[in-house]
Amino acid sequence: MTKMGQPALRGTNEVPFALEELFYSRTDTRGVIQSGNEIFRRTAGFEWSEMIGAPHKIVRHPDTPRAVFRVLWDALKKGYPMGAYVKNKAKGGGWYWVFAVVMPIEGGYLSVRLKPTSELSDEIHQLYRDLSARERAESLDPEESATLLRDFAERGGYSSYTAFMAYALALELTERDRRLNRNADENTRMLAELNTAMGRLTKEQFGLLRSFEALQSVPNNMRIVASRLEPSGGPVSAISENYKASSAVISERLRKFVAGRGNLCGQMAFQVARAVFQLGCARVLNEMSTNFMGEEAQNDRPREEERALLQSLVTKGTADANAAMRQAAELADDMMNQSRDIRRQLLGLDTIRVLGRVECGRMRDANGGLAATIDQLDSFHDDIKGRLEAILALSEEIEHWLGRYLRAGRSAA
């Protein structure tokens, strides 16, 4: 420490703080700081008289894209907690990275931050550099930039930005445990596995929908071929019409299954992400509450009141997460049943496809491209069957992790 309130800086101007240290702050509804802990004050480089009553944005670094705060506030205004990687600035000109969990409370907001150390944090640094540069160069408004941030999460296979932050929090907690030589937290590992499986499931389901939509063009090709090979109403024409009608029914069911407002996949992904993130938050808040025991109050609100607030949030967050887990388990069971039904419907399409192959053989060399069209059907069917099997396996894996967590919770109670 150089002089009172000013932390020593490393050569890169990064302000050091220990891995085991957690930042705490509480603001009113306008984002004005009402309370904080000594680690936050020390790292930011301010005196308490400068921090209390000041807007939280006094530590906002311009390298953090505005998109991050737009996504954060969108969640908070809906009453949901949210996570974010944030690069902050210190009074002395330095900077420091945190992973923040932020949640709405009565009369304002509360945030606990930890030091990010996972490989993902390095990827985020590059993403933020690129996104901040685009915001400046293209004069993007916060919502346009937030869309790019959400797109980044979706390209990574996450159903939502909440799911991405749930994965990030679990990753950061796991790496933090490892570096601090703590025993691996079984719940954190379990939740990370669950969230990862949910991401793979989402990818498979959207891949399945795309395959079915691409399949819709094949019966049209078959009908065009049939018009050159046989009179109107011939067997190949009838096969193509039957196939088109049957595949359209399945395709519409799939859209309700994985796309559109309120789809089953989206509901389940939301509940899983919500539960995973809430439980990760509860762990961080609980540790912050313990850390407060050795710190004196810095304003007129005793630390015991801050600890009581944190503990109430831990209790509520755990209860909300368990409720989300139970709902997700019901959705997982429904998803498996619907996947099996779709697989049975696909057998009907297989029968029509085989009839097409028979007609192709009967026409021999005069098939006029029918063989190539049937080959397309074979390829699509193989892809669809493979995705359905993957979806069933992943649904079972997700149900397993959900059931395991809920059973562990009942045993602990």
Question: Each residue of 371-390: pLDDT tens digit?
Answer: 788 888 888 888 888 888 88
Q: Which amino acid, one-letter code, is at 168?
A: A
| Cβ atoms of 36 and 298 closer than 8 Å | yes
The pLDDT of residue 295 is: 67
The torsion defined by the Cα of 43, 108, 326 and 152, in degrees rounded to 10, comes to -60
Q: How confident is the model at residue 399 (pLDDT cuts 50, 70, 90)?
A: confident
Residue 56 and residue 80: Cα distance in Å, rounded? 19
Of the candidates 173, 186, 158, 116, the residue with the CA atom closest to the CA atom of residue 272: 158
Does residue 164 lie in a domain region? no
The pLDDT of residue 409 is: 67
Give me the number of domains the chain comprises: 2
Beta bridge partners, 84, equal 100
The pLDDT of residue 411 is: 60
| Cβ atoms of 409 and 318 closer than 8 Å | no
Show the CA angle centred on residue 294, arms to residues 290 and 295, nearest 5°.
105
Of all residues in the chain, the percent with pLDDT exceeding 90 is 42
The pLDDT of residue 2 is: 37
Q: What is the mean pLDDT of residues 109-121?
A: 95
Task: Please tell me whether residues 213 and 348 are part of one structural domain.
Answer: yes
Determine the structural domain holding residue 73 and report its residue range.
1-155
Task: Please tell me whether residues 403 and 278 are part of one structural domain.
Answer: yes
Q: Which amino acid, one-letter code, is at 308?
A: A
For the sheet containing 95-105, what is the strand order?
A: 33-36, 23-28, 108-114, 95-105, 82-89
Task: Please tell me whether residues 191 and 151 are part of one structural domain.
Answer: no
The pLDDT of residue 8 is: 39
Residue 47 and residue 32: Cα distance in Å, rounded? 15
Q: What is the mean pLDDT of residues 398-413?
A: 75
Q: Which amino acid, one-letter code, is at 127?
A: L
State yes or no: pLDDT of 410 exceeds 70: no
Does residue 128 lie in a domain region? yes
Q: How confident is the model at residue 81 (pLDDT cuts 50, 70, 90)?
A: very high
Q: How confident is the model at residue 195 (pLDDT cuts 50, 70, 90)?
A: confident
Does residue 291 lie in a domain region? yes
Task: Please tell me whether residues 310 and 209 are part of one structural domain.
Answer: yes
Does residue 320 lie in a domain region? yes
Q: What is the pLDDT of residues 196-245, one digit of tens each?
A: 788 788 888 878 878 877 777 777 777 787 777 777 678 878 888 888 88
State yes or no: pLDDT of 1 exceeds 60: no
Task: Please tell me whether residues 149 and 200 are part of one structural domain.
Answer: no
Residue 128 and residue 63: Cα distance in Å, rounded? 7
DSSP assignment string, 178-245: HHTTPPPPHHHHHHHHHHHHHHHHHHHHHHHHHHHHHHTHHHHHHHHHHHHHS-TT-HHHHHHHHHHH
Last residue of a domain, one of 155, 173, 199: 155
Q: Which residue has the tokens 């306008």?
A: 30
State yes or no: pLDDT of 402 exceeds 60: yes
- Between the CA of residue 157 and those of 128, 161, 184, 192, what are the distances in Å? 19, 10, 26, 14
Contacts (Cβ under 8 Å, ≥6 apart) of 56: 25, 27, 31, 32, 33
The CATH number covering residue 292 comes to 1.20.1260
Task: Please tell me whether residues 263 and 383 are part of one structural domain.
Answer: yes
Residue 74 and residue 161: Cα distance in Å, rounded? 11
| Cβ atoms of 105 and 119 closer than 8 Å | no
Residue 100 and residue 82: Cα distance in Å, rounded? 8
Does residue 260 lie in a domain region? yes
Q: How confident is the model at residue 301 (pLDDT cuts 50, 70, 90)?
A: low
Task: Please tell me whether residues 113 and 252 are part of one structural domain.
Answer: no
The CATH number covering residue 33 comes to 3.30.450.20
Of the candidates 25, 152, 17, the residue with the CA atom closest to the CA atom of residue 97: 17
Of the candidates 270, 84, 140, the residue with the CA atom closest to the CA atom of residue 195: 270
